[in-house]
Amino acid sequence: MTGEARNALVTGGSGFVGSHVVDALLEAGYRVRCLVRATSRLRWLEGKPVELVQADLRDDEFAEAVAGVDTVIHCAGLTRGSRRALFAANCDGTRALVDACVASGGRMRFVFCSSQAAAGPGALQRPREVEDPPRPTGDYGRSKLAAEVEVLRRSDRLEVVVLRPVAVYGPRDEDTLSCFRMAARGVFLVPGVRRRLVQLVHVRDVAAVLRRAAECTAVVGNTYFVAHPETIDWLELAAALGQAVGRRLVTLRLPTPLLWSAGTAAELLGGGRRPGQLDLRRARDLSRRAWTCHVDRTMKDLDWEPRYGILDGLRHTAEWYREQGWL
């Protein structure tokens, strides 16, 4: 970045995706402020030149957080919980944040990190397009879609951009850690007995494209999917995971009825609360035949190309887990 440094607010800056966004912005010369909860673990921000502001999406005012910034990258959100909790954090919290940005005066860039869950899955024969009518499959996706609507409604007063990443993995992620640990034991459970397709994206590629969205003028007002363009099935994913951890895997197929039963049982027993645990939403998502989308427009408009292929990204992540003693 040349000239005067820009001032950016990152919500969820202590989390998995948000902390990588902080790293990308600092590397580019931004002055970075992070919105964190009082209970947030700050391990990924320790020693970094960031300003911390405490607030919670569910019940706080954001005037102090947005004061003096010209860029907001909104990564914070709730991924599991009741419908009421999801909408309170993801929709109501986003509405309060964008309203605070509008009230602060001036023209501000607001980049919203949503999710493909807001759009819904693709199909085996046809990846999802941004223009397709949204069909979220659960309350998480519906709450993120409602948040997108709130953001885009302010497009006459804010420079808004909405990005919808697919399944994100990489260093610091605790959700996909269970998959790596399973693979390290030499076994992998493949959801369903029929072929299922999936796209992934490395967290550093997500951070890079969020930064690009904060800087590119031509993308204002638009919505984009974020994924590595390579589409693979679950057996190919298992093979890549095996290579990443250095094991030949035994793959076992888990029929969809058993997957749903396991998710329902976990929900009833209070499971699914820790990262990577199966719950009903995860079971529902895993039962879909294709979580796929087209990203050609994203790559063209944002002048962005993922750096990490699937195998390279999985290897990079496995190495990081080992260095941390997680694997």
Hey, which residues are catalytic here? 140
Q: In what order do the strands lie in the sheet with 232-233?
A: 232-233, 197-198, 290-291
Q: What are phi and psi of 172, to 5 degrees?
A: 80, -5
How far is Cα 113 from Cα 161, in angstroms, rounded to an integer?
9
Q: Token pair for residue 3?
A: 């000239």
Q: Token pair for residue 18?
A: 């948000």
142 close to 136: Cβ distance less than 8 angstroms: yes
How far is Cα 24 from Cα 190, in angstroms, rounded to an integer?
34
Residue 97: burial class (beta carbons within 10 Å; 0-12, 13-18, 19+): buried
How far is Cα 37 from Cα 13, in angstroms, rounded to an integer?
10
234-245 vs 310-324: helix axis angle to the nearest 10? 40
Contacts of 261 (CB under 8 A, 6+ apart): none
β-partners of residue 226 are 165
Question: Which residue type, as a one-letter code, is found at position 245?
Answer: V
